Structure 1
Amino acid sequence: MMTETKVKPCEADAKKVWRVPKIRLGITGYDVFAKGIGFFLAMAMPLPGMAPFGLSFLAQERKFSIKAILAFIAAGLGSIVACDRLGAAKYIGAGLIYLAVLFVLERGVRVTDITAGLAAGAGVFATGLSVIFVRGFSVTELLLLLCEVAIVIAASLMMEKSSDFLQKQGFSVQDIDSETKLSLGAVLAIAILSLKQIYIGSDFSVMNCAASVVLLIIAAGCGATYSTGAGVVLGLICGIGGNYFMPVLGAFSFCGFLAGVFSKFGKGGVISGVVVANAVMAIYTNSAMQSVLSLFEVLASSVVFAFVPDSYIEAVKEILFIGENERKSISKMKEGLRSRLAAVAAAFENMSKTLDKLSEKTAYDTGDIATVFDVTADKVCRKCRKSPICWGKDFNSTYREMFEMLNVLREVGKLDENGVRDHFAGKCLNITALINELGHQFEIYRVRETCRNRLDENREIVGEQLSGMSKILDGLAEELCVETRPAAVSAWEVRSRLERRGIKAKELNVLRDKNGRHKIEVVLKGTALKEKQRASLEKLMKSVLKCPVMNTDEELLGKKYLRICFSEAERYTVETRHATRAADGTNGDNFRMLHLSEGKYVVAISDGMGTGDRAAKESEAILELLDSFLQAGFDSRTAMRLINSIMIMKSGDEAIATVDLCIIDLFTGEVKFIKTGAEPSFIMQKDGGVETVCAASLPMGIVTDAEADVSKRRIMEGDRIVMITDGVESRENGSLWVSEFIHENCRSDNEGNIARNILDYAISKNSGAVNDDMTVLSLELKAVG
C-alpha cells in the first residue's frame, strides 16, 4: 500500500534556496601548527617587496572552513611582518578574494589545483594592480606584477604534494614518493629564505643558523654526497640577493663536504667537520668568511643539532635515500625535477629580462629638466613683477634661454653672467639669483642622474647573473632529460666472466653516458687490491668492452667492501711546457691546467691589468673561479659571463683581466678556444703548417654584456698549440712574428722547449728589456700508449 506524502509549499521553496556555508570546526593543535607554516612562507621574499608564497600556501585550501581561515591569518601576519603597509594590504586583500572564491564555490563546485592557483593569481593581480595605481602606474611595475602572478600559480602547484603530506598527523617513509620529497624540500627552502631578515644582535643570522642545522642533520644521516649537494642548495638559498653570493655558496658547500666526511664518527664528527671547515675558510680568506658564517652561528647550530633525536636523523636518511622499490619511479621523478628546474630557469630569465627593461637608459630626460626649470622659476621668479611676461607672453623665449644656460652648465661646469645672453640678462631683474638657483638645481639633477645610472648598472649586473643562473638550470634540466643509452654489454656477462676467474662481486653496474662511453662499477669484498689483481681486472674489462680502459676511481664502502670504477680510456694525453718572465717582481700573468672528468683537458691563461701583485691577484682570482665553475660542470661560456659580472661588481676601482681558454677533448681531438681580450693562439701542425686563431673581444670587467669569442678546431696527434700573453708582442708587428718564428724555427724542435725559445726571442727583439709580464705555453697532443 502506497502512502502519499505532502510537501508544504514553504518546504518546497526552501529546497531551492542557496544556503550560506557553515564554517566547519573540529581543529586540532596539529592543524594550527600545519597552518602556522604559512606565516614563515609569507615572509620569504625572492625580490624586495615581493612575498608571493603565503598566498600560494593559502591556495592549498580547497574548501571554506576554519582551517582556511587559520591559513589566511597565518599568511596575513607573515605579510604584515615582511612588507610595508601597501604590500601587506595587497596580500591580505588577495587572500580575502581567495576566501571569497571558496565561499561562493562551496555549493558543490570542485576546486582543482589549477583552479586554486588561478584564483590566487587573479587575487594578487587585482590587488597588485590597485597598489600600482596608488603608487603611480608604470609598465615595469606591471611586468613585475605579472611575474609575481606566475610565481604564485607555479608555487601553489609545487606546494600541492607537501600540503597533502602535512595534513597527515602520522606517516611512514613508504608513503613519501619522489614528488612529495621535492615539494617538501622546496617548502623547507622557502621557509629558510623567510628568515633572511631576522638577526639577533648585529651579526647572528637566524637563517644561517637554521640552514646549518639542516645541513648537519643531512650530513649525519646521509654522508658526504648528499651533504655536499645540500650545502650547494642551502648556499644558493642563503646567498642569493646578498653581497656575498659566492662566499656563502662556497662556505656551505665546504661545510657540507667536511661534515659528511666526518659523519662516520657520529654527531661529534659532524660538528667537528663544520667547525674545521669554517676555521679553514676563515684562515684561508684572512677572516673574511666571518661575514658569511660567524662563530656564534656555528656554535648555536651545533648545540641545536646535538639535541636532535637520532630517530629524526634516521627518518631523514630513509626519506632521502631511494630504495629498490622506488627505482621504477626514477624516470618520473627526473621528468618532474626537469620541469621544475625549467620553470625556475624561466623565472630567473624573466627576472633578468625585467631588470634589463628597468635599466634602459635615456640620454636626455626632458621631464627631469622641466622639473629643474620649474623649481628654479618657483623660487626666483614667482614674486617678480615681470613673471607674467617672462613665463607667460614670452614663455618660449624664456625657455630657450634657460636651455642655453643649462648647456653652458653641462659643458663648462659653472655659470655666471658672462654665460647669459645680453638681452636676457638685461631684461631679467634677478639674473644673479636665477643663475645661482639654476646651478644649484642642476647639481641636484646631476646627483640624481648619477644615482639612477648606478642603479641601472647594478640592475644590468644582477640581470646578467640571473641569466647565467637560468642557463645553468637549463643545462641541468637538459641533463636530466637525457635517457641512459643501453650498454653494449650486460652486467650479467661481466659478472659471469668475473666468476670464471674466481672473483665474486657483491654488486656490479654497467653504465653508458650520453656520449656512448661505458663505465663499469664493481663492489668487491676487501679493502685493497694488489697490483696483480688490478691489472687482471683491467685486462678483463678491456676484453669485455673491446677498447682500452682505465681505473678511474676507488672507494672504501665501510670496513669490508671496496668499490672500483673502470671507464673507457682517453685516446690522447697533453704534454705542456711553459716559460714566464715578470716585468717587476711578481708576474701578473697566471695560468692553470685542469683535467675534467668527462675527458676534457683545460688550459687557461689570465693576464691582469698592469703588472705586479695587484695584477697577479686579479688573474689568480679569475682562474680560481673558472676552476670552480668548470669542476662543477658549468658551461664554459656561462662561467665566463658570471665571472665577468663578478669582476664588474668587484669594487669601484677598475678590475680588468684577459682570459684565454683552451679546451681539448681527449677522445676526439676537438679544441675549443674561448677568448676575452686575449692574444692570438697558434696551432703548429705536424706537417709544418701554422694556423693562427685570433679573436676580437673585450677583457673581463669592462662591460656587463661582453661576449667571449669562441673558435673550434680539430688537431691530430703530434700537433702543438702555443698560447701567449700580450707582453710577448713586439712594437713593430704585434704578435704576427710568433707565427713566422714557429714556422721557421720550431718545425724540427721535437725535443726542445718551444715556449722557452719564443720567450727568449721576444726579449731579444726588445733589446733585452722586459716591459710587461710575459707568459708562453706550449701544448702537444700525444696518443696514449
Structure 2
Amino acid sequence: MRVKKFSPDYVTAIKYVLLFAAFAATNKLEKTVMPYSAAIYAASIAFGYSAFFSSAIWILSFLVFKCTGLLAYAGIVSAFFIAVSFVYKKLGVKPRYEIVLFATVAAAVFCFLGDTINYVPIEKRVTVAAITVLLTLVAYVAIKGVNEKGLKFKPCFDEYATAAVLFTVIGTGVCNALSPFVWKSVCVLLILLSAYLYRQGVCTVFAAVCGISFSVYYGNVSYASVYLCMGVFAESVTRFSRYLSAATVLAADYLAERFFGVYGAYALTDFISCFIGAAIFCVTPSFLLKNLKERLCVFREKQLSRVSINRNRTFLSNRLYELSGVFTEMSDALSAFKKTAMTEDKARICIVREIMNAVCKNCDNYYKCKENENKIAESLNVLTGIGFAKGKLSLIDLPKELSVSCVRPNNLLYGLNKLLSDYRGEAINNANVCTGRKLIADEAKNVSEILKKLALESGTLLKYRSDLERKLSAALLKAGYPVHELLIYGEDSRLCIGMILSVKEIELGKLITAVEKTVGTRMALTEKSNVTEEKCYLSFRIAAPYDAFFGLAAAKKDGSEKSGDTHSVTRISDDRFLVALSDGMGSGEQANRVSSVTLSLIESFYKAGMKSELILGTVAKLLAITAEETFTALDVSVIDLKNCTADFIKYGAPYGFIVGENGIRIVESNSLPLGILDELKPSVATAKLAAGDMVILVTDGIADAFGSPTDLAEFLRTLPALNPQTLADDVMKRALSLTDGKREDDMTVLAVRIFKKKPA
C-alpha cells in the first residue's frame, strides 16, 4: 500500500494563527477582557472556517488572559455555532447575513450568564452585547471582502469602511493587550509595505486608518494626523528608494513631536518602536517584495485583453493555415490539369485531311487525283511540313508530284496558308493559356507560403513583460510623461512596446531616450496617432543597428521626352530596403512605361513578403505573355539593415559595385533582360557589407560611356566614398565628359551608403 506523503498547509496554518491573534486582540478592546471577539468568531464560521478548530482557538483566546469566568459562555456559544455549521453543511449552503441573527443569540447568552467569576453589571453586558452584534455585521462585510478579493482587487466602499473599523478595533486591542509601541512597529511596517506595493493614494489612506487606533487608545485625534504624515512622506519618495522611504517615516515621526508636541516628549521607546518596523522593512529581501508586488498588482494589468489577444492570434493562425491549404490545393490542381495541345504531327494530318475535303473535292480533276490518293496525301504532308518550317508557302515550295498533277495550285496554297495561320494562332493562345495557368499556380503557391508564414507568426503566443512595463512606466513618469496604458511583449529582437500617454505635446527625442535607457537597446518609433485630444498612441520596435542614405543622378536620352530608366528606393520591412533600377529597352514613353510597371510590380510583391525567385519569375512571365515585346534590364539589391548584407539580383543589367575601405568589389551579371524568356534565371549574389560601404548601381547608358567595368572601377577608386549624392553626381559628370556631352541612351546612377547607428 502506498502511503501518501504528508504535506503541511502553511497558508491555512497562517490563517488560523492570524484568526487567533484577532480573537485575542478584540477581547482586549477594553482594559478588561470582554467577548467582543464573538463577532469575528461568528463571521469566520460564516466563511467556512472549521467550526471545531475555530471554536477551540476562540476559547483559547480567553484562557490566554486567564479569564475563566467567560468559559461557560464561550462553551455554550461554541456548541451553538457548531450546530449551526453542521445544519448548513447538510443543507449544502453557506450562511449569509443571517449570521448577525445567530450573533444576537450568542449576545443574549452573554447578557444572561455574564462573567461567572467577575461581576459585570447588566447595563455593561447589554452594551457589550449590542456592540458585538454591530461588530458581527462589520466583520462579516470586511472578511467577505478579504476572503473573495484578497489584497489583489479593488474593494468597494463598504468593504473599505468595515475593514478600517475592524482594523481599528484590532489595533486598539493590541495596544491594550501588549503595548502601543508594539502596534506602532506593526503599523510602520505595514505603511512602508503599502507604499511600496500599491499605487499612489493607497498608503496615505491606510496610514490614516492606522492612526485612528492610536487616537482611540490615547483619546487624542492628533495621532491620526501623525500617521497621515508618515504615509505622505513614505509615498512621496518610495519610487526613488525604499530605504529613503523608511528614513522619511522615522523623520516624520520625530518631526511630529518636535514641531507639534503630539507625544508630549519624544522618548527612546517611540524611536525604537518606529525603527523596528522600518528596519524589518529594509532587511526584507528585495526578491520577496518584488514577488509579493507581482502577486498583489495583477489587477492593474489588463489580463483579459492580453488573454483575448493570444486567443485571437491562435484563432487567426488556424484560419490562415486553413486558407493556406486552400491555395496549395488550387496550385496543385492547376498544375495537374494541363490542357494538352495538338502536336505538329497530328496537326499535319488534320490539315491534309481538311485540304483534301475542302479544296480537292471541288476540283474538276478530283477523281483522277483520287486514283493516286496516297501519293497526293504524302505530297501534301511534305508540303505542310515545309509550311510549318517556313511559316508561309509559295509556288516554288510545291513538291514535283503536286506541281504536275494539281490544276489549282493557287487555291491549294491559299487553303494551306490559312490553315497554317489558324494553327499558329491556336498554338500561341494555347501557350499563353498554359503560361497563365502556371503563373496562377505559382502565385497560388506563393500566397500559400505567405499565409503559412503569417500563421506561424500569429500562432506564436505573445510573452508579456510585466516587470519591464512597471520599470518603463516609472521612467516615463519621471521624464514627465504619465502613462495611461502600457503593453510590452516579445523577446530579444521581437520586443515591441505599445503605450498611450496622457499628454498633448511630446518631445520625441526625450521620450525615445527614456525608453531606450530602460529597455537597454535602440528602439524605433513605428507608429504615432492621436487617441483623443489629450491622449496619443505610440508604438516602438527594436531598431536595426544599421541604416542607409541614398544618392541619385539621372539624365534622359537626347531627343526623348521621358527616360526609359526608373528607380526605386523603398522600405519593404522594418529592417530591409529595396533598391532597384529598371532599364526599359529603348527610350521614351514605351520604355518608361515598361520600366515603371516592372518596378511597381516588384515593389508590391516584396512588400507582400514573397520570395525573390517567385517574384522575379512572376514578373518575367507577365512580361513574356504580353502582346507586344516588352523587355527590361533589371538591377535589384535588397539590403538587410539588421545583418548588414545585400542580395543582388540582375536581369541583363550592367555590373554593380561595392566601394569600401578594403577596395572595390564588382557584382557580375550574365543574364538576359527580363521578359525575353519566361523561364529566364537571373544572376544572383549575396555580399556582406560593413559600415561605410557604398553600393552603386548603373544602367547601360553609364556602363557604355565608360566602356568597361574596369574603367568605371578605376574612376570610383579616385572618389571619396562618403556622400552618396556627391558620388552619383561625379559619376554622371564623368560619363557625360566621356561622350562629349552626348546622351545616346538614358543614364542613371544610384548610390547607397551604409552606416552604423550610435548605440543607445
Q: TM-score range by the shorter chain?
A: 0.5 to 0.7
Find out whether 1:508 has 2:482 as its counterpart.
no
The answer on whether the counterparts of 1:335 and 1:480 sit within 8 Å (CA) in structure 2 is: yes
**How many angstroms apart in 2 are the aligned matches of 1:615 and 1:425?**
49
Partner of 2:614: 638
Partner of 1:459: 434
Find out whether 1:520 has 2:497 as its counterpart.
yes
Find out whether 1:670 has 2:645 as its counterpart.
yes
1:122-155 deviation line (CA, Å, top 9, x unaligned): xxxxxxxxxxxxxxxxxxxxxxxxxxxxxxxxxx
Partner of 2:376: 398
C-alpha distance 724-499 of structure 1, shift in aligned 2 (>3 A): same
Find out whether 1:342 has 2:324 as its counterpart.
yes
**Residue 738 of structure 1: which of 694, 712, 719 is its match?**
712
SS in 2 for 1:730: helix
The answer on whether the counterparts of 1:593 and 1:601 sit within 8 Å (CA) in structure 2 is: yes
**How many angstroms apart in 1 are the aligned matches of 2:384 and 2:462?**
76
AA at the equivalent of 2:734: Y
1:232-258 deviation line (CA, Å, top 9, x unaligned): xxxxxxxxxxxxxxxxxxxxxxxxxxx
AA at the equivalent of 1:628: S
**How many angstroms apart in 1 are the aligned matches of 2:323 and 2:382?**
56
AA at the equivalent of 1:771: E
SS in 1 for 2:666: strand
Look at both structures and tell me which one has the larger radius of gyration over its CA atoms: 2
The answer on whether the counterparts of 2:546 and 2:641 sit within 8 Å (CA) in structure 1 is: yes
AA at the equivalent of 1:372: I
Find out whether 1:550 has 2:524 as its counterpart.
yes
The answer on whether the counterparts of 1:524 and 1:562 sit within 8 Å (CA) in structure 2 is: yes
C-alpha distance 552-336 of structure 1, shift in aligned 2 (>3 A): closer
**How many angstroms apart in 2 are the aligned matches of 1:728 and 1:761?**
9
**How many angstroms apart in 1 are the aligned matches of 2:450 and 2:712?**
39
Partner of 2:685: 711
1:545-567 deviation line (CA, Å, top 9, x unaligned): 21122322212224453211122
**Residue 779 of structure 1: which of 726, 743, 752 is its match?**
752
SS in 1 for 2:408: helix
**TM-score (norm. length: structure 2):** 0.53
**Residue 702 of structure 1: which of 657, 670, 676 is its match?**
676
**Residue 608 of structure 1: which of 561, 584, 590 is its match?**
584
C-alpha distance 335-375 of structure 1, shift in aligned 2 (>3 A): same
**How many angstroms apart in 1 are the aligned matches of 2:433 and 2:413?**
30
**How many angstroms apart in 2 are the aligned matches of 1:385 and 1:594?**
73
**How many angstroms apart in 2 are the aligned matches of 1:690 and 1:436?**
68
In the TM superposition, residue 462 of structure 1 has moved relative to its aligned partner by 4.2
In the TM superposition, residue 471 of structure 1 has moved relative to its aligned partner by 0.7
The answer on whether the counterparts of 1:352 and 1:464 sit within 8 Å (CA) in structure 2 is: no
1:81-160 equivalence runs, <5 A: none
Partner of 1:374: 353
1:153-172 equivalence runs, <5 A: none
Find out whether 1:726 has 2:700 as its counterpart.
yes
SS in 1 for 2:743: coil
C-alpha distance 561-538 of structure 1, shift in aligned 2 (>3 A): same
AA at the equivalent of 2:352: F
AA at the equivalent of 2:531: L
1:30-429 equivalence runs, <5 A: 326-327=308-309, 329-330=311-312, 332-354=314-336, 357-358=338-339, 364-379=343-358, 396-410=374-388, 411=390, 413-416=392-395, 419-422=397-400, 425-426=403-404, 428=405
In the TM superposition, residue 535 of structure 1 has moved relative to its aligned partner by 4.0
1:303-330 deviation line (CA, Å, top 9, x unaligned): xxxxxxxxxxxxxxxxxxx977754533
AA at the equivalent of 1:592: S
AA at the equivalent of 1:667: K
1:379-403 deviation line (CA, Å, top 9, x unaligned): 45558899788657x5553333223
C-alpha distance 760-455 of structure 1, shift in aligned 2 (>3 A): same
1:325-360 deviation line (CA, Å, top 9, x unaligned): 7545335424421331221221231244146x32x6
1:620-669 deviation line (CA, Å, top 9, x unaligned): 2333333333344444443334433443455x322222221111111221
C-alpha distance 472-707 of structure 1, shift in aligned 2 (>3 A): farther
AA at the equivalent of 1:662: S
In the TM superposition, residue 589 of structure 1 has moved relative to its aligned partner by 1.1
**Residue 590 of structure 1: which of 529, 551, 566 is its match?**
566
In the TM superposition, residue 725 of structure 1 has moved relative to its aligned partner by 0.2
C-alpha distance 461-676 of structure 1, shift in aligned 2 (>3 A): farther
**How many angstroms apart in 2 are the aligned matches of 1:536 and 1:583?**
49
Partner of 1:102: none
Partner of 2:425: 450
C-alpha distance 784-707 of structure 1, shift in aligned 2 (>3 A): same
C-alpha distance 617-732 of structure 1, shift in aligned 2 (>3 A): closer
Partner of 2:411: 436
C-alpha distance 719-368 of structure 1, shift in aligned 2 (>3 A): same
The answer on whether the counterparts of 1:730 and 1:765 sit within 8 Å (CA) in structure 2 is: no
Partner of 2:736: 763
**How many angstroms apart in 1 are the aligned matches of 2:509 and 2:391?**
81
C-alpha distance 487-329 of structure 1, shift in aligned 2 (>3 A): closer
**Residue 570 of structure 1: which of 534, 544, 554 is its match?**
544
The answer on whether the counterparts of 1:464 and 1:705 sit within 8 Å (CA) in structure 2 is: no
C-alpha distance 761-403 of structure 1, shift in aligned 2 (>3 A): same
The answer on whether the counterparts of 1:484 and 1:512 sit within 8 Å (CA) in structure 2 is: no
**TM-score (norm. length: structure 1):** 0.52
In the TM superposition, residue 407 of structure 1 has moved relative to its aligned partner by 4.3
Partner of 1:259: none
**How many angstroms apart in 1 are the aligned matches of 2:378 and 2:621?**
43
Same amino acid, percent of matched pairs: 18
Partner of 2:156: none
**How many angstroms apart in 2 are the aligned matches of 1:581 and 1:386?**
70
**How many angstroms apart in 1 are the aligned matches of 2:535 and 2:682?**
47
**How many angstroms apart in 2 are the aligned matches of 1:498 and 1:325?**
21
**How many angstroms apart in 1 are the aligned matches of 2:708 and 2:500?**
58
In the TM superposition, residue 522 of structure 1 has moved relative to its aligned partner by 0.9
The answer on whether the counterparts of 1:351 and 1:463 sit within 8 Å (CA) in structure 2 is: no
Find out whether 1:624 has 2:607 as its counterpart.
no
**How many angstroms apart in 2 are the aligned matches of 1:772 and 1:730?**
9
C-alpha distance 760-537 of structure 1, shift in aligned 2 (>3 A): closer
In the TM superposition, residue 730 of structure 1 has moved relative to its aligned partner by 3.0
SS in 2 for 1:516: helix
**How many angstroms apart in 1 are the aligned matches of 2:382 and 2:484?**
88
**How many angstroms apart in 2 are the aligned matches of 1:529 and 1:432?**
97
**How many angstroms apart in 2 are the aligned matches of 1:664 and 1:562?**
33
C-alpha distance 464-708 of structure 1, shift in aligned 2 (>3 A): farther
**How many angstroms apart in 2 are the aligned matches of 1:406 and 1:525?**
84
The answer on whether the counterparts of 2:550 and 2:725 sit within 8 Å (CA) in structure 1 is: no
The answer on whether the counterparts of 1:491 and 1:510 sit within 8 Å (CA) in structure 2 is: yes
